[in-house]
Amino acid sequence: MSRDEDFAAFVAVSWPALVRTGRLLAPDAASAEDLVQSALLKTYARWRSVRDPGAYTRAVLTRLALRSGRRRWRAEVPTADLPEIAGPDEAAGIGSADEVRRLLAQLPRHQRAVIVLRFYCDFSEAEIAEVLRCSPGTVKSRTHRALAALRATAADSDLEVDR
């Protein structure tokens, strides 16, 4: 297979998981897809030298998500109030996923990244430290603070934050 075919096969297989991870790291679905596309562009540029494309792309995705909050201006500004009346809720069964996203969105970028990598991507503390380029002690303290914040915020909802 050629480089392009290999990369296309990788994207076809990993796109859904990358978008789910991006959705947890980004404030909205559109930003998540933009992050994933940017991460895939960076992965494609280094395709021949990447040994584990999934891990590399997740690391790039996380770093891009952390940097995206530093930008001073964004071309689009999402709004909570929609201009028209919404129809019946077709996705009422996925309320807890929305609640988790809402709770994660309230965390600072670095704490959100640690929680997503630790509990969603199942990375070890050492792997998270490598991705975020910080010490394992920093990962532990960010995890502790993030879980404390999630527990305090989740007390008002039906979600339980254990682990």
Q: Give pLDDT, residue 134.
A: 93
Range 20-25, long-range pairs (CB < 8 A, 24+ positions)? 20/120, 21/58, 21/61, 21/116, 21/120, 21/121, 22/61, 22/65, 23/101, 24/100, 24/101, 24/104, 24/112, 24/116, 24/120, 25/61, 25/62, 25/65, 25/112, 25/113, 25/116
At 125, the pLDDT band (50, 70, 90 cuts) reads very high
Q: Give pLDDT, residue 29.
A: 87
Q: How far is CA 127 from CA 14, 115, 138, in A?
A: 20, 13, 12
Provide the whole-model pTM.
0.64
Q: Give pLDDT, residue 159.
A: 59
- Please state at what angle helix 53-68 crosses helix 125-132, rounded to 10 degrees: 60
Q: Cα-atom radius of gyration of the chain, to the nearest Å?
A: 17
Q: Cα separation of 103 and 24, whole Å?
A: 10
Q: Give pLDDT, residue 27.
A: 82
Average the pLDDT over 47-62 and give the result: 93
Q: Give pLDDT, residue 21.
A: 93
Q: Are the C-beta atoms of 103 and 153 separated by less than 8 Å?
A: yes
pLDDT digits (tens, 9 = 90+) for 15-44: 999 999 999 998 888 889 999 999 999 999
